[in-house]
Amino acid sequence: MTDDDALDNYNNDWLNQYKGTSKLALRPGNTKDVATILKYCNEKKLAVTPQGGNTGLVGGSVPLFDEVIVSLSRMNKVLDFDEVSGIVVCEAGCVLQDLDNWLADRGHMVPLDLGAKGSCHIGGNVATNAGGLRYLRYGSLHGSVLGMETVLPSGEVLDSMSRLRKDNTGYDVKQLFIGSEGTLGAITKLAISVPRRPLSVNTMFLALKDFDAVCQTYSEARRQLAEVLSAVEFADRPSLDILFSEFPDIHREPFQDKYPFHMLIEVSGSDMNHDREKMDTFLEHCMMEGLIQDGVVAQDTQQSLALWALREDITMALAQAGHVYKYDFSLPLDHFYTIVEEMRERLSKVSIETHTVGYGHVGDSNVHLNICTPGKRGVTPEVMDVIEPFVYDFVRDHAGSISAEHGLGQMKPDKIFHTKSHTSVDIMKQIKTVFDPNGIMNPYKHVSYHTELAKEVS
């Protein structure tokens, strides 16, 4: 594909924050064709950007210059399913929601769910080690990805396609590809351990007076809801204010009064009565103890979706409101919200109007700190200088991660030293060279950014 219009989708990310100038996007239909492409590019030292659904938030799947785009979108078949053990084998280009629907018909689910599920690919999810909404329950892809087929730049196929839960024979090389953002090779097939789909799902939306109450409520949820707890999400007042003002026809205040903090807690299990009973006991306890100020419980799937949308639509509301400075941090709960407060305080002194909001996956200590400048204004140095490097220093000083689930991409590869040592990055660079000695895979991003080889290419 070389037509400029047709290439636009491949050269841009979905939020139009990153833009490349690639002249060539290839859509191979099988592993052999991926191998032929990579081998050719490797011999000619042509840079390559593997691409999934292109829904990342750090520009990892978007070329910077004239990289050859290798889209996995045609490789979208489910290949096998072991219903007794719950193991699915599929190609990397399966759209997450399609794969989940396919499994739903068979009583199972992908152990991963995120806002972009209608477009993102399972291969891209693995390449970026996506976290998402139910990480708390189903854990990391490092645990649930059982097997992987990848094509190396040499054109060799690295077949780690185990369909087994356990396999201790040598180093677990495939783990390196989970979160490698296309810098080591192209993921072509996956075997994933998939859980039974819960028969009962209950969602509640809670109002809280301070962040301490959020932490206590989370702790109580882990204790009382234990094995049926499937999500613990969080949004502050300013997040919801923007949501209600941007989407007044769709969303409105769920409570009579306004509260500074909100949580969405989801419970899912195999028995509706048991789950409801646990939830009622939990809610009663939290009310009695004064942990929560108010709460609504979804009575059906429709209401549950509406409550989830209060959390999930914040991202879109912010994007509609203006330019968004997006940050995705892991921070211990002690400092999970102080970064939002300190940022807001700092920005109160600049001349431009800013809205500093915090939301995210409190159950995973993963905060999305977003700063929105209303209107059509893009990045302004006055705002940026107040945000960076302050936020990265804050995260380093409080033993956090500068990228919890979004990755480094082209947005922040140069920030890696804030939370990783030189020893660690040096090992990463050597590993990169083992897989990709010519540095053709997704250069200028992630660990590729730190290899000299990558800089010589293209």
Q: By CB neighbour count within 10 A (0-12 exposed, 13-18 middle, 19+ buried), where does 226 fall?
A: exposed
Q: Which of 261, 211, 243 is nearest to 372 (CA)?
A: 243
Could you say which of 16, 256, 351, 423 contacts a second copy (CB under 8 A)? 423
Exposure string over 318-338, b if 16+ CB within 10 A, otherwise e:
bbebbbbbbbbbbbeeebbbe
Of residues 249 through 268, those in contact with a second copy by CB under 8 A are 268
Could you say which of 22, 73, 76, 160 contacts a second copy (CB under 8 A)? 160
CA distances from 457 to 44, 81, 120, 234 (A): 10, 41, 29, 43
Binding to a second copy by residue 421, rule CB under 8 A? yes
Could you say which of 23, 74, 106, 163 contacts a second copy (CB under 8 A)? 163
Give the binding-site size for a second copy (rule: CB under 8 A).
94
Rounded least distance, CB 318 to a second copy, Å? 21
Ramachandran sector of residue 94 (left: φ over 0; alpha: ψ -120 to 50; beta: rest): beta
Of residues 107 through 126, those in contact with a second copy by CB under 8 A are 107
Q: 350-389 mask for a second copy (x: CB under 8 A)?
A: -----------x--xxx-----------------------
Report the residue number, 142 or 252, with the smaller CB distance to a second copy.
142
Could you say which of 321, 425, 453, 458 contacts a second copy (CB under 8 A)? 425
Strand partners, 267: 202, 229
Could you say which of 110, 339, 441, 447 contacts a second copy (CB under 8 A)? 447
The two structure tokens encoding residue 256: 């009579």
Of residues 128 through 147, those in contact with a second copy by CB under 8 A are 128-129, 131, 135, 139-140, 142-144
Could you say which of 101, 270, 299, 301 contacts a second copy (CB under 8 A)? 270
Report the residue number, 311 or 344, with the smaller CB distance to a second copy.
311
Of residues 14 through 53, those in contact with a second copy by CB under 8 A are none
Report the residue number, 180 or 304, with the smaller CB distance to a second copy.
180
* Terminal CA-CA length for the chain: 20
Rg (CA), the chain: 22
**In the block, residue with structure tokens 């209608």:** 118
Is-contact 417 377, C-beta < 8 A?
no
Q: Which of 446, 358, 450 is nearest to 128 (CA)?
A: 446
d(CA 165, CA 177): 18
Rounded least distance, CB 379 to a second copy, Å? 22
**In the block, residue with structure tokens 């919890």:** 404
Of residues 310 through 349, those in contact with a second copy by CB under 8 A are 330-333
Please state, as a whole number, how many other Cβ atoms lie within 10 Å of the Cβ of residue 417: 14
Rounded least distance, CB 360 to a second copy, Å? 10
Could you say which of 277, 289, 341, 393 contacts a second copy (CB under 8 A)? 277
Rounded least distance, CB 138 to a second copy, Å? 9
Q: By CB neighbour count within 10 A (0-12 exposed, 13-18 middle, 19+ buried), where does 8 fall?
A: exposed
Of residues 49 through 88, those in contact with a second copy by CB under 8 A are 82-86
Of residues 202 through 231, those in contact with a second copy by CB under 8 A are 215, 218-219, 222-228
CA distances from 61 to 13, 27, 128, 277 (A): 8, 14, 10, 45
d(CA 410, CA 407): 9
Could you say which of 299, 434, 455, 456 contacts a second copy (CB under 8 A)? 434
Rounded least distance, CB 101 to a second copy, Å? 19
Is-contact 24 1, C-beta < 8 A?
yes
Rounded least distance, CB 185 to a second copy, Å? 10
Stretch that binds a second copy, among 16-24, 37-45, 96-104, 168-176 (CB under 8 A): 168-176
Rounded least distance, CB 269 to a second copy, Å? 5
Could you say which of 19, 32, 274, 377 contacts a second copy (CB under 8 A)? 274
Of residues 89 through 108, those in contact with a second copy by CB under 8 A are 107
d(CA 96, CA 381): 37
Rounded least distance, CB 93 to a second copy, Å? 21
Q: 181-200 mask for a second copy (x: CB under 8 A)?
A: ---x--------x--x-xx-
